[in-house]
Amino acid sequence: MARAWRCAGLRWAAGGPVLSWAGGRRSALARGKRVAFAVAEGGVRTCVGARGHACPVRAGVPGRSTGARCEECARLDRAHSVAADTAADDPRPYRVYLAWFGPGLVKVGITADERGTARLLEQGAVCFSWLGRGPLMAARRTEELLRAALGVPDRVPYARKRAVRAVRAALPASEAERAAEIAGLHARAVALGGWPETLTPEPFRPVDHAGVFGIEGERRGPAAVAEVAELVAGGAVGGELVAAAGPDLHLATERGVVVLDTRLMTGWELVSAGGEPCAVPLRELGRAAAGVQDGLF
């Protein structure tokens, strides 16, 4: 009987994306590598727990949930979350950034200085620039200042990010074009009054991830045609990795390029697979991006 593994999520390292597994195993993901796995027959997706602790009741969670946590564990996970404003006493320095995900898709955000660019890679930011550095609450006030004064959101719906990256051709060809929107916003932000005194402004230095993700130039490959809607017991996914951005893997399958959100893998018992076809519910990307509930095929 094939050994089953529990996926602990996708992480971005210096060499690219890495799948982590319960027990400490890691699988580096290089473009051109075949990614193939199956969900154990009769398997049930269970809650991954919170803050390093297993779910006490091993609650079942929906296949389409990207959080893979039951309601109680989700609440505990956010109990000390910077994003939820419940960790205001965090003494670490933070950075404010402007991130660009595609034409018209710009956001302001903050991340712990020690994390470097990891947060931007995890979100799938095609390009970004730092805006300032300082204590947590100063970074948070600057984020709020940009939202109020310039109308810059602090969130971009993930479906919109995915749709732009999947089409590929929707992205400008050059790094300068991709950085143009955040260049203008950076200049306007620096010119604003009311910055916290403890936040040190940083110059505009755009960082481009299109090459890292594999969605730039001749290497970007064909557009994705569908996304995995959910994993199911007995289902299989297999394809050649042609691009990766944020939590998404773009796999060349017999149905065309399919996007797999690796957050859907957590909570399942997974086994290795060989040449099985992609046999899980899929959703057409074009219609899903437009907000239309599509049938599965």
Q: What are the residues whose beta carbons fall under 8 Å from the beta carbon of 37, sequence distance 6 or more?
A: 236, 237, 238, 265, 270, 271, 272, 273
CA 23 – CA 25 distance, rounded (Å): 6
- Comparing CA positions, the residue from 258, 171, 259, 284 lying closest to residue 220 is 171
46-55, 69-78, 83-92: which range is least confident on average? 83-92
Tens digits of residue pLDDT in 142-154: 999 999 999 999 9
Q: DSSP letter at 295?
A: P
Instruction: Return the bridge partners of 130, or none.
Output: 97
Q: DSSP letter at 184?
A: H
Report the pLDDT averaged over residues 53-59: 93
62-76, 160-174, 256-270: which range is least confident on average? 160-174
CA 297 – CA 280 distance, rounded (Å): 9
Q: DSSP letter at 211?
A: H
pLDDT given for residue 291 in this prediction? 37
Grade residue 285 by pLDDT with cuts at 50, 70 and 90.
confident
Report the pLDDT averaged over residues 154-169: 86
pLDDT given for residue 293 in this prediction? 30
**Do residues 9 and 262 touch, judged by C-beta distance below 8 A?**
yes
pLDDT given for residue 171 in this prediction? 87
pLDDT given for residue 41 in this prediction? 86
User: In degrees, to the nearest 5, what angle opens at C-alpha 17 toward C-alphas 86 and 84?
Assistant: 10
What distance lies between CA 171 and its chain's CA centroid? 18
pLDDT given for residue 80 in this prediction? 63
The radius of gyration computed from the CA coordinates of the chain, to the nearest angstrom, equals 20
pLDDT given for residue 79 in this prediction? 75
Report the pLDDT averaged over residues 96-113: 96
Residue 266 has pLDDT above 60, yes or no: yes
Greater confidence (218 vs 223) lies with: 223
Q: What are the residues whose beta carbons fall under 8 Å from the beta carbon of 282, sequence distance 6 or more?
A: 226, 227, 228, 229, 255, 258, 296, 297
Report the pLDDT averaged over residues 217-245: 89
User: In degrees, to the nearest 5, what angle opens at C-alpha 77 toward C-alphas 25 and 66?
Assistant: 65
Question: Average model confidence (pLDDT) for the chain?
Answer: 89
pLDDT given for residue 292 in this prediction? 31
Greater confidence (169 vs 254) lies with: 254
pLDDT given for residue 286 in this prediction? 64
Greater confidence (285 vs 260) lies with: 260
Which DSSP helix (H) or strand (E) runs through 188?
Answer: helix 175-191
Grade residue 294 by pLDDT with cuts at 50, 70 and 90.
very low
